[in-house]
Each structure stands twice: as structure tokens, then as C-alpha cells.
Amino acid sequence: MITLSTVLRRYTSDVAIGPVDLEIPPGGITAMVGPNGAGKSTLLTMIGRLMGMDAGTITVGGLDVSNTPSKELAKKMSILRQENHFITRLTVRQLVGFGRYPHSQGRLTVDDERRISEAIDFLNLGDLETRYLDELSGGQRQRAYVAMVLAQDTEYVLLDEPLNNLDMQHSVQMMKHLKRAAVELGRTIVIVLHDINFAGHYADHICALKHGEIVAFGTPQEIMAPDTLSSIFNTPIDVIDGPRGLLACYY
Ligand code: ADP
Ligand code: MG
């Protein structure tokens, strides 16, 4: 379980995220949705202890993120931020290998190498593993970063818009893979998604943010309603019962 209690981040006198109270249940996928600037990345990076809070407490699997040693937290939780991915002269395999750092401290064992290969295979990067990051397309690079996070092999996984730049095939593959990790391995996955239909289809819970506050939290069945969605996203949205479940139409 991830708990946030009265978590607040004040950027300027008129922009503040929170105070937020939230419980993200263990296991399954929780999707964070909401308009640009709602505070999704701010919340996720505070949970992932990449950004400090001005007030409040966050715990992840019982560990208080503000006073648990990074080394211990890194075995419990991994995070992929939305931006600031480092693009250096690293190959895909070397990058994914960084995901093992909390376990190996840089000396990769046979088991580490196996997990690196698994993560590379899961994201369909086998043919690209010796390529340098600056020789990849945006979507291929995005997959390499997700592979790095998965190789870290943590119970809690936080991903900020991992479907950015991905084509339909790879978006669907990634969501199916994350779903499997949640169901079969009991991972707790918190993912910021831009496309409400991906959230509706794959998430177990949807957490909607707007103006730095949580305005809705529930199952996809509960959130995928025309009034709820239209109000979250400030645009008229219809919901139709499609061949594969509820579908938001806003075009
Ligand atoms: P989201 O991920 O939902 O699009 P963010 O968490 O990135 O939203 O941003 C939430 C709000 O905080 C936005 O209004 C944004 O402009 C503001 N913000 C983000 N980072 C900073 C910063 N470093 N300084 C000032 N304001 C910021
Ligand atoms: Mg964001």
C-alpha cells in the first residue's frame, strides 16, 4: 500500500499541489489521469522521493519515503520520470543494467544478467540491445527506460507517461506486460496515463487529479461516466459500451 497524508507541495504563491490524502491499494494498476498541469508528475515524483514535500507524509509498503535510506527504498520502489531521461553514450543493455544497481552495486551477477535479458525481451528490444541510446527513435528509447525500471525488480513501480512516443502495438504490449506483472507477480503499479481509454481498459483503479487536488478515485466502471470524465478533462466526453468495454469518445 502507498499512503499519502496531507501531502503538499507549494511551487509559487498561486500554484500548489495538495494537500492530498490518498491510499493506493497494494497489487494491481492504479492510473493517474487529469489535464496538463493537474499535478500528476508532482505527486508521482514525491512518492518516488525525487522531489521533497512541503508538508505531509508518504509511505510505500510501510516505509516512510522521507527517512528511509535510498538504498533500501530502491529495492522496494522504482520510478520512471516523465522527462530528464539521460541520453548518453550508453547502449540499451548498459542502460537496462543500471536497473540492477540497487541489487548488484555495479558487479552484475549471472542472475542480474538474466533479469536484464528478460526485461530487454519483454520490451522487444533484443535486436537493439547493443545500440546506443542516441541512435534510437523516441519510442525505442522510451521502451529502453521502461526496461531499466522493470529490471530493478521492485514491488512498487511508478511510471510517468510511459506510453509517450509509443505506437499502438507497443502501447498495448506494454500495458499487457504491466498487467501481467501486477496479476502474476503481485506488483503495485502506479502509472500516469494520458489516454483515458488505456486507463479504463487496463487499470484496476483510476485516480483523477485536477488543479492539484484529487477529484475522483474509483474503479474504471465508476470513473468512466460521461459527467465525471467531462468534468475532469474540461471537455465534452461521451462513453460508449464498445466491443471491448467502456470507451470514452471526445474527438
Ligand atoms: P502534470 O504532470 O499533471 O501535467 P505537474 O505536476 O507537472 O502536472 O505540474 C503541476 C503544476 O505545477 C503545473 O501548474 C506546473 O506549471 C507547476 N509546476 C511544475 N513544476 C514547477 C516548478 N518547478 N516551478 C513552478 N511551478 C511548477
Ligand atoms: Mg506530468
Nearest CA to ligand 1 atom 18: 11
Closest CA relative to residue 183, chosen from 169, 202, 199: 202
Q: Is 39 in the pocket of ligand 1 (CB under 6 A)?
A: yes
Q: Is 38 in the pocket of ligand 1 (CB under 6 A)?
A: yes
DSSP per-residue letters across 117-129: HHHHHHTT-GGGT
Nearest CA to ligand 1 atom 23: 11
Q: Which domains does the chain have, with CATH numbers?
A: 2-76+155-249 (3.40.50.300), 85-153 (no CATH)
Judged on CB neighbours under 10 Å (0-12, 13-18, 19+), 149 is buried
Q: Is 30 in the pocket of ligand 1 (CB under 6 A)?
A: no
Q: Point out the ligand nearest to the CA of residue 81.
A: 2
Check pLDDT > 70 for residue 242. Answer: yes
How much is the CA Rg of the chain, to the nearest whole Å? 18
pLDDT in the model for residue 185: 86
Q: Is 99 in the pocket of ligand 1 (CB under 6 A)?
A: no
pLDDT in the model for residue 84: 63
Which atom of ligand 1 lies closest to the CA of 39?
A: 6
Q: Is 11 in the pocket of ligand 1 (CB under 6 A)?
A: yes
Residues 107-141 have pLDDT tens digits of 999 999 999 999 999 899 999 999 999 999 988 99
Q: Is 12 in the pocket of ligand 1 (CB under 6 A)?
A: yes
Residues 88-108 have pLDDT tens digits of 789 999 999 999 999 998 899
Q: Point out the ligand nearest to the CA of residue 233.
A: 1
Within its chain, how far is the Cα of 131 from the centroid? 25
Q: Which amino acid is at 241?
A: D
Instruction: Tell me how far the alpha carbon of residue 201 lies from the centroid of ligand 1, in angstroms.
Output: 27
Instruction: Tell me how far the alpha carbon of residue 113 lies from the centroid of ligand 2, in angstroms.
Output: 32
Q: Which helix (H) or strand (E) holds 204?
A: none
Mean pLDDT of the chain: 95
Residues 179-205 have pLDDT tens digits of 988 998 899 999 999 999 999 999 999
Check pLDDT > 80 for residue 87. Answer: no
The residues near 75 (Cβ < 8 Å, ≥ 6 apart) are: 102, 103, 154
CA angle 118, 120, 123 (to 5 degrees): 105
List the end-to-end C-alpha distance of the chain, in Å, as a whole number: 36
Instruction: Tell me how far the alpha carbon of residue 42 lies from the centroid of ligand 2, in angstroms.
Output: 7
Q: Is 45 in the pocket of ligand 1 (CB under 6 A)?
A: no
